[in-house]
Amino acid sequence: MLDISASSLFVILVSAILVNNFVLSRFLGICPFLGVSKQVETAFGMGMAVTFVMSLASIITFIVQKYILDLFGIQYMQTIMFILVIASLVQLVEMIIQKTSPTLYQSLGVFLPLITTNCAVLGLTILNIQERYNIIETIFHAIGAAVGFSLAIVLFAAIRERMEVANVPNAFKGFPLALITAGLMSLAFLGFSGLV
């Protein structure tokens, strides 16, 4: 049986959410982080979509790694196999969102299919393998990463909503200030580094 202690799972979770936050510490998934963070609502929707894709992708890639790649010794096929899994999942999520929430589908726009190429998802799945996590740890790591991503993008969207009405020098309006803000948030998250 797998040897897992509750504390080690908690450490993985907290480390993925705060210490090694995918966006602010590992700098993965910057594209949707900047692209879909104008409104808290859409940012939250994006976060949920990424959460769904990340959780499912980690489980499936774990199985693929263990029962296809490791079994046949073709680990070099990892990247293409994982991308295949992620792309299919994103297609599925896109269909579900289009059916259930057309408004969210419209506001996410092109960034929804772009989760396919979102390096945060691929990065997560590959990290799972590199860290030699077992299936339970993988799931917790995925949830942590997804929550971390959602947390970062929702916080960032909230800040940007305020900045929209703030009196900002013309040269900094829009993306320049967004990038500076992202940098400051990243610095702030650096404060968690001693946590685990």
Judged by beta carbon, residue 88 or residue 181, the one nearer another protein is: 88
Site track 123-162 with another protein (rule: CB under 8 A), x = hit: ----------------------------------------
**Distance of closest approach, residue 75 Cβ to another protein, in angstroms:** 11
Is-contact 19 192, C-beta < 8 A? yes
**Distance of closest approach, residue 51 Cβ to another protein, in angstroms:** 19
Q: Counting contacts by CB under 8 A, is residue 116 touching another protein?
A: no
Is-contact 88 53, C-beta < 8 A? no
Whole-number Å distance between alpha carbons of 127 and 194: 21
**Distance of closest approach, residue 124 Cβ to another protein, in angstroms:** 19
**Distance of closest approach, residue 70 Cβ to another protein, in angstroms:** 12
Give how far the C-alpha of residue 21 lies from the chain's centroid of Cα atoms, to the nearest Å: 9
Whole-number Å distance between alpha carbons of 15 and 148: 9
Site residues for another protein, 70-109, by CB under 8 A, read 72, 74, 77, 80-81, 84-85, 88, 91-92, 95-96, 98-99, 102
Site residues for another protein, 38-77, by CB under 8 A, read 64, 68, 72, 74, 77
Give CB contacts under 8 A, 24+ apart, made by 154-159: 154/40, 154/43, 154/44, 154/47, 155/185, 156/33, 156/37, 156/43, 156/181, 156/182, 156/185, 157/36, 157/37, 157/38, 157/39, 157/40, 157/42, 157/43, 157/44, 158/40, 159/185
**Distance of closest approach, residue 150 Cβ to another protein, in angstroms:** 23
Q: Under the rule (CB under 8 A), what is the footprint of another protein? A: 64, 68, 72, 74, 77, 80-81, 84-85, 88, 91-92, 95-96, 98-99, 102
